[in-house]
């Protein structure tokens, strides 16, 4: 069994460009079950959640370098695609600056009904670096392409 220190693993919801109504539901549902819920966002939603990290003036050198090399190969629009990749770099910087080695990342449009540190963390392998929880539709064993950073719940 893993130690009780897992109770301090934050739940992160990243959303850039506004404060849609569904974001409020995602944040509140996560806060109902988890001790620490952080909204990583920008100046458009800085007043939306008490524990907010505003990325507006933060420099992300790695992300800027990534953008120079990135070739879009999906059918998603750039308006959707770019924030998905930005989220990964922003999250890495937030974790480093806040000295967190473990987090739970939840999409900004997903409601959650679990205490992740107590219910999910104990069942992850000890050497787990990242885990993605998605389901495979019945009778579609080759449907694995749906698991990507686009889906983080």
Q: Is 30's pLDDT higher than 90?
A: yes
Q: Which of 83, 116, 104 is nearest to 16 (CA)?
A: 83
Question: Is residue 152 scored above 50 in pLDDT?
Answer: no
Q: Give pLDDT, residue 99.
A: 94
What is the distance between the alpha carbons of residues 70 and 65, in angstroms, rounded to a whole number? Answer: 9
- pLDDT greater than 80 at residue 10: yes
Sequence ranges of the domains in the chain: 4-146
φ/ψ region of 72 (left if φ > 0, alpha if ψ in -120 to 50, else beta) reads beta
Asked if 12 contacts 105 with a C-beta cutoff of 8 angstroms, the reply is yes
pLDDT at 6 over 60: no
Residue 106 · residue 153 · CB < 8 Å: yes
Give the tokens for residue 29.
Answer: 């549902």
94-140 pLDDT, tens digit per residue, is 999 999 988 999 999 999 999 988 888 888 777 776 666 555 566 66
**Mean pLDDT (whole number) for 53-71:** 92
Nearest to 22 by CA among 80, 116, 106, 114: 106
pLDDT for res 153: 36
pLDDT above 90 covers a percentage of the chain that reads: 51
């Amino acid at each position: 069994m893993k130690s009780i220190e897992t109770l301090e693993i934050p739940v992160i919801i990243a959303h850039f460009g506004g404060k849609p109504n569904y974001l409020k539901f995602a944040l509140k549902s996560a806060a109902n079950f988890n001790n620490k819920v952080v909204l990583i966002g920008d100046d458009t939603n800085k007043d939306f959640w008490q524990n907010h990290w505003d990325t507006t003036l933060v420099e992300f050198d790695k992300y800027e370098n990534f953008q120079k090399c990135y070739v879009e190969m999906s059918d998603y629009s750039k308006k959707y695609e770019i924030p998905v990749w930005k989220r990964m770099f922003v999250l890495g910087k937030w974790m480093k600056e806040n000295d967190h080695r473990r987090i739970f990342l939840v999409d900004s449009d997903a409601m959650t009904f679990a205490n992740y540190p107590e219910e999910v963390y104990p069942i992850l392998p000890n050497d787990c670096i990242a885990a993605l929880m998605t389901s495979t539709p019945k009778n579609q064993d080759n449907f694995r392409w749906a698991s990507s950073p686009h889906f983080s719940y």
